[in-house]
Structure 1
């Protein structure tokens, strides 16, 4: 009886959903709704200006929360915020750029491909060898991406799809970096730094990219400021929750993001071709499969 009790308790702990997990589930719902908002807003503005305004607003919202403890900012926290901010900037800028030419549902499904990438990036950066499930997930995601591109472009990804696919690498790195630092830094200070850094990186890229400030538009302003508030909330929740939730478990929860984006997109009138929809489902399957442990641990035998 004593030998069987420990494994049962371990399995129960792994299946338990606590407040951090529920918070991350809420993040996926908010995330899913942002794709449609960005898709409409970037028809009137460039990607770098929109990302800069969005994350600048988020930084201003986060400032009052971080101000009481800001004086204690350390070099480690500054470095963590800058590195995470660079990942956020690259991921969101490329994703926003891609949303100028592809639907919000397509963008969300392609973005979900960052999940099976996380174990691969961990292998490259942390020398943690991926499990068999990770490689299966990557293969499913690759097939899904081909199906998403196939309906209109043969087997070639268009510019929007390609930009979004590249953004998944940056998003995977962001998840890993948050997991590396989340348990050793002050959440409020690092969140403020990463939000401000993302905004500054985006505004700094406007001139080199030949992007100018667009004419005033309430659609752009309200979308960017509203998403800024959501972004601030999301980053605080991610940094708080991933203090106790592992990067791999967090990415499994994030698998719900494209499903919510697809629901919101369908309500707005988006209709994906059947092949693209199948490709999206394969990517979601890749997210889930990549987190399955096919290797069964040996149970201790009786003494």
Structure 2
């Protein structure tokens, strides 16, 4: 009984903190969009991760004695996937509305089982297949409903979902017993180097920034980067992957609300329908899987519970 209560408490605590990460991630769409008004997307990416690397480096000072070649190699590989994710993210958000970008990015939930089936022949269940069909219908409606159709920003946001899936898979396949904080530090540093290199190769005009864009940059470096990575790596182990996936589907909801209320974005009826279908494509399969888990009494990951 005591263990059951303790596990329920951990699961509830994990749920709270993971929901908070979705708020921060949803906010990143808004603040990136605001920052891009004065700072070009790739330059914004470079400064964001340079600051995040500095902050994570300070957090990692007591852990540096654990740093080894394997941590560096693993961090570099998954860091390149993270760099592709964030590069496609900033370029996508800069070219479309944050509402559309949020729902398109969330397609990563469906792409993970599809990629696992394609490369490792892991079973693709019927629920995921139904979700893919719904998602394709949603993409078709988004293409019809937008002023510019399915534009370059939408394409890059969809590509971002692919890179998010690849990053998650690479972490799950490569991560063993490395220190999560040190691994995050190497990942952030890798994105910084990639962003800085691209910024040097394709220099932007001299910047004239205000405190609004500086504040946006600070927010994106601290909350959806350093804090979200730390919270996710700390608490996701205390819940099931399905429940975590359901929680993360809240990301585009926050970005849509922010885009509507703060940026004044407006979607057509077809765009709303397309976003709703994409949202349903992700939520419905996860909801059915989650219902099955609850029937089996699975509210937390046994390995996570045992790890504390």
CA distance in 2, matches of 1:141, 1:289: 11
Pairwise CA distance, 1:126: 3.9
Task: Identify which of 267, 273, 277 aligns with 1:278.
Answer: 273
Alignment partner, residue 220 of structure 1: 213
Q: Give the one of 54, 61, 70 matched to 2:64.
A: 70
Q: Aligned-pair RMSD on alpha carbons?
A: 2.6
Equivalenced residue count is 284
**Residues 296 and 261 from structure 1, CA distance in 2 versus in 1: closer, same or farther, beyond 3 angstroms?**
closer
Aligned partner of 2:183 among 190, 193, 210: 190
2:303 corresponds to = none
CA shift, 1:186, in A, is 1.0
* Residues 23-34 of structure 1 aligned to structure 2 (within 5 Å): 23-34=17-28
Q: State how far apart, in whole Å, the 2-side matches of 1:71 and 1:213 are.
A: 41
Q: Shift of residue 182 of structure 1? A: 5.3
* 1:232 matches 2:226: yes
Gaps of 5+ in 1: 1-8
* Cα pair 2:128 2:285 within 8 Å, conserved: yes
Question: Mean alpha-carbon deviation: is it higher for 109-118 or for 122-131?
Answer: 122-131
Distance 1:185 1:18, change over 3 A: farther
Deviations 1:128-147 (A, max 9, x none): 21211111111111111111
Return closer, same or farther for 1:23/1:183 CA change in 2, 3 Å cut-off. Answer: farther
| Mapping of residues 259-278 of structure 1, within 5 Å | 259-268=253-262, 269-278=264-273
Whether the 8 Å CA contact 1:82–1:194 is kept in 2: the answer is yes
Q: How does 1:19-168 map to 2 (within 5 A)?
A: 19-152=13-146, 157-168=150-161
* Distance of 1:49 and 1:294 partners within structure 2: 40
The Cα shift of 1:259 comes to 0.8
Q: CA deviation at 1:284?
A: 1.1
Is the 8 Å Cα contact of residues 107 and 164 (structure 1) preserved in structure 2? yes
Structure 2: how far apart are the matches of 1:130 and 1:164?
A: 24
Q: Mind listing any 5+ residue stretches in structure 2 that lack a counterpart?
A: 297-308
CA distance in 1, matches of 2:111, 2:159: 11
Distance 1:87 1:163, change over 3 A: same
SS state at 1:30 partner: helix
Counterpart secondary structure, 1:185: coil
Q: Determine helix, strand or coil for the equivalent of 1:36.
A: helix
Any conservation in 2 of the 1:179–1:247 contact (CA below 8 Å)?
no
CA contact (8 A) 1:144 1:280 kept: yes
Q: Report the TM-score, using the length of structure 1 for normalisation.
A: 0.85
For residue 5 of structure 1, what is the aligned residue in structure 2?
A: none
Rounded Cα–Cα distance in structure 1 between residues aligned with 2:254 and 2:161: 18
Deviation digits for residues 35-68 of structure 1, max 9, x if unmatched?
1111122132322211111111111111121111
Aligned position for 1:3: none
State the distance in 2 between where 1:143 and 1:100 align: 24
Distance 1:139 1:85 in 2: 31
Provide the rounded CA distance (Å) in 1 between the counterparts of 2:156 and 2:54: 29
1:140 to 1:224, Cα distance in 2 relative to 1, 3 A: same
CA distance in 1, matches of 2:240, 2:117: 15
**Which residue number in structure 2 is paired with residue 290 of structure 1?**
285
Whether the 8 Å contact between 1:50 and 1:220 is mirrored in structure 2 is no
